[in-house]
Structures are given as C-alpha cells and as structure tokens.
Amino acid sequence: MSTEVAEGSVRHLDHSGLHLARPDGSTVTVPLLALRDRCDCASCSHPSGQRLLDPAAFPTDLAATVVAVDDGFLRLHWTPEGHHSTYALAELLADPPAADDVLPWDAGAADRLAVGDHQQITADGEAGSRALLDWLRGVAAMGCGVLTGVPTLDGEVARVAELFGFVRETNYGRWFDVWAQADPTNLANTSLGLPPHTDNPYRDPVPTMQLLHCHQSSAAGGDNVLVDGFRVAAELRTLDPDGFAQLAGRAVSFAYRDAGASLTTTAPIIDLDVAGNVRGVRFNHRSLQQLPLPTNPAESEQLSVWYRGYTHFARLVADPRFHLFVHLRPGDLFIVDNRRVLHGRTAYEAGGGSRHLQGCYADVDGLRSTIAVLQHRLDAAADDR
C-alpha cells in the first residue's frame, strides 16, 4: 500500500503511516494507529467528548488509502474496516500544547503570593467568579496562597476547600484542630517549632492540598513559614547531583500510628516525572522510618550518599534564603500544594496566650478543574455580550 499525494504538506501514505512536511521544512510520519485513533467522527467520538473507540478492536492489518486532500482536510478510507475519517491538516501539523511554566520561588517572593479576600471570592455573580479564579490561579502558580477574612467558625476551613473541590476526609476527621494539647499523639499539637515539612507522607496517596485556618493567635511566636520544595530540589540537584539521584531513586518508608490508625507507605523523598522533572517532594522527618542498614559495600556507599543528600536537602529547607513567612491573624488561612510547598512554624509560648488553627485536606485535581470551569464560564459570558 502506498498512495502518492503531492498536494501541500501531505507527502504520501504507506504502511508506516502518513508522511507530512512540517512548516519548518522537516518531515514527520504519523503512525497509522495514531491516525486511526484520532478519528472524531460520530461513530468514534460521543457528543460528550468521550471516545467510543476500542483499541483492542483495531485491526492488526490496518491500512488506509487517501480519498482526497482539499480545503485543508485529508480524507482517508480505512481497510479492512471500511471506515472513513476526515482530518484537519492544521491539527495534524500543530505543535503540541506547551506545558504550564513552573516558576520556582524563594524568600523574595512575598509580593507574588496570591492573597484573596473571602468576601470577594464568595460574592455572587461574575465579580465573585473572577475573584475566585484569580486567587486559585495564583495558588496553582506558586503552590500556595493566603485567604483573609474567613469567618472563624468551626469547620469553616472545609467550606473554603469546597469553594474549589472536595474535602479529603482522613482519620483526623473532615477537619481537625491544631493547638497545644496536654498529651499529644502528634507534634503538631504541641507548642514546639516544626521545621518545614509536607503533611501526611505516610498516606497513599498523600493529600495534595492542605488548608490551615487561624482562629486564635495571641501567643507569642507560632509564625508560619512556607518553602518551595521545587526550588530547594533544584538547588540540591545543582550542588549534589548524586545525592539528588539517591533521594529520587530510593523509596523510603513513612509511618504514623495512634490508637485508631496505623498508616504506612513507601515512596522516594523526591518524585520525578517521566521527563526527569521534579513532580513532588515528601519531606517529614517526624514520620520517616529507619532505612535498612547495608549488607554489602555497594549498599553502604548508596546509604552514605542518600544521607548526604537528605541532610543537605534538610539544611536547604532550613535556609532562610528560601523562607516565605506568613503571619496568620484570626480569620487568615493559608493553602499549600502539599506535593510542592513545605510548611512549618516557629515555636510559641503555650502559656502566654492561645494559638488555635483548624486544618483540612483536599486535592489539586479539584482546584485545576475549578480553574478550567470558571475560565470557561467567564469566556462564555464574555462571548454572549
């Protein structure tokens, strides 16, 4: 099978696929299966946008012939199915969408922090939608944000999570209190300072968003600090590539236990995507379990490099160059992407006043979905005018 087509960007079609000339003069081959799978005719694609094709049903002897190339469209006839498909050439030649830019930040980023106003983002109509969209966009870009003027009502933090998504209920409840307790099972409920960390690394999957809402803050100290884990990981990658590789390449265990829960999971400190970019960090020494001791020289060397990388990472997390301080007053709330942004607090004087926060977990897919839906609605409203 080979069909010569001289018109425009379509060069020819053969058993390996459709050969196209790209605008930059290069040529590229779109494999037949990829082309067949792109058919969006009414029998291949449902009006909902979901696909009706079954990849198991694609013939192993799939072949195609060109019916026509005209008006910017390519029409193919598939055998042995006897199916017809039409493709817009511009779509076949389009560049893939660019990935969202991730802009790492450090201590100098205070003026970029997304600060929303609760009354504005919950207002009715377009103004409220616009304010909510702007705040959520800022949160997505930096992996954190602040909301002011949140009523200090029990569980209000969960209602804020519901403005963009769904509460992730855990063994700590739908929402939980953070305050100094007499007999705590979690260091969060002491007046001790907490070095910046990600929450609940012992869960699978970890909650991807965390919210903390301040109800009372008359105790001296207890300021919150945020750290961009992507920025710190990038620094480590430059300063100690082997240590970085160990943190990304070795799974370690985290655990939390109390009378009603026994949670444990295994994952690397630094999570990389398939392109090698940092996708998340999991850093919380309170719940890190002991690593197995080496049984041979190679394991000994690996453990040594892992610890060098881990302690280096911890020193970078503790470095004020990367600290963004957030002083929460009653009614203020901060939100973090718990895979990216670490949060901590300075110690406070438990006897010299009170400090009470309420927290809850949610997930980033809801946040992204709400951004897309709000944008779509606002665009549609603008088109109607």
User: Smallest distance, Å, CB 283 to Fe ion?
Assistant: 11
User: Smallest distance, Å, CB 101 to Fe ion?
Assistant: 28
Peptide bond into 201 cis (omega under 30): no
Q: What angle do CA 203, 208, 213 make, to 5 degrees?
A: 105
Contact between 337 and Fe ion (CB under 5 A)?
no
Residues numbered 80-99 forming contacts with Fe ion, rule: CB under 5 A: none
Name which of 133 and 333 has its Cβ closer to Fe ion.
333
Name which of 199 and 363 has its Cβ closer to Fe ion.
199
User: Smallest distance, Å, CB 194 to Fe ion?
Assistant: 6
Instruction: Kindly list the distances between the CA atom of residue 228 and the CA atoms of 104, 107, 150, 281, in Å, as whole numbers in the listed order.
Output: 7, 9, 25, 10
Nearest residue to Fe ion, by Cβ distance, number only = 199
Residues numbered 91-150 forming contacts with Fe ion, rule: CB under 5 A: none
Amino acid identity, residue 113? Answer: L
User: Smallest distance, Å, CB 225 to Fe ion?
Assistant: 11
Q: Which tokens go with 285?
A: 């020494």
Task: Please give the DSSP secondary-structure letter assigned to residue 223.
Answer: -
The residues facing 4 across adjacent strands are 12
Name which of 230 and 283 has its Cβ closer to Fe ion.
283
User: How many residues sit close enough to Fe ion to count as binding (CB under 5 A)?
Assistant: 1
In whole angstroms, what is the distance from residue 31 CA to residue 16 CA? 6
User: Smallest distance, Å, CB 197 to Fe ion?
Assistant: 6
User: Smallest distance, Å, CB 160 to Fe ion?
Assistant: 17
- Torsion over CA of 321, 102, 361 and 223, rounded to 10 degrees? 20
Which of these, 218, 238, 248, 230, lies nearest to 144 by C-alpha position?
230
Name which of 172 and 322 has its Cβ closer to Fe ion.
172
Give the three-class secondary structure for 252: strand
Write the interaction track for Fe ion spanning residues 184-213; mark x where CB under 5 A is met and - where it is not.
Answer: ---------------x--------------
Name which of 30 and 192 has its Cβ closer to Fe ion.
192
Q: What angle do CA 169, 102, 38 make, to 5 degrees?
A: 85
Peptide bond into 205 cis (omega under 30): yes
User: Smallest distance, Å, CB 343 to Fe ion?
Assistant: 6
User: Smallest distance, Å, CB 227 to Fe ion?
Assistant: 12
User: Smallest distance, Å, CB 338 to Fe ion?
Assistant: 9
Name which of 149 and 344 has its Cβ closer to Fe ion.
344
Q: 136 with 368: CB under 8 angstroms? A: no
Name which of 199 and 235 has its Cβ closer to Fe ion.
199
How many CB atoms lie under 10 A from the CB of residue 316? 20
Give the distance, in angstroms, between the CA of residue 365 and the centroid of all CA atoms in the same chain: 8
In whole angstroms, what is the distance from residue 157 CA to residue 215 CA? 10
Residue 301, φ and ψ in degrees, nearest 5: -65, -45
Contacting residues for 255 by C-beta, under 8 A, at least 6 apart: 202, 262, 263, 264, 287, 289
In whole angstroms, what is the distance from residue 335 CA to residue 207 CA? 12
Name which of 156 and 199 has its Cβ closer to Fe ion.
199
Name which of 189 and 375 has its Cβ closer to Fe ion.
189
* Binding interface with Fe ion (CB under 5 A): 199
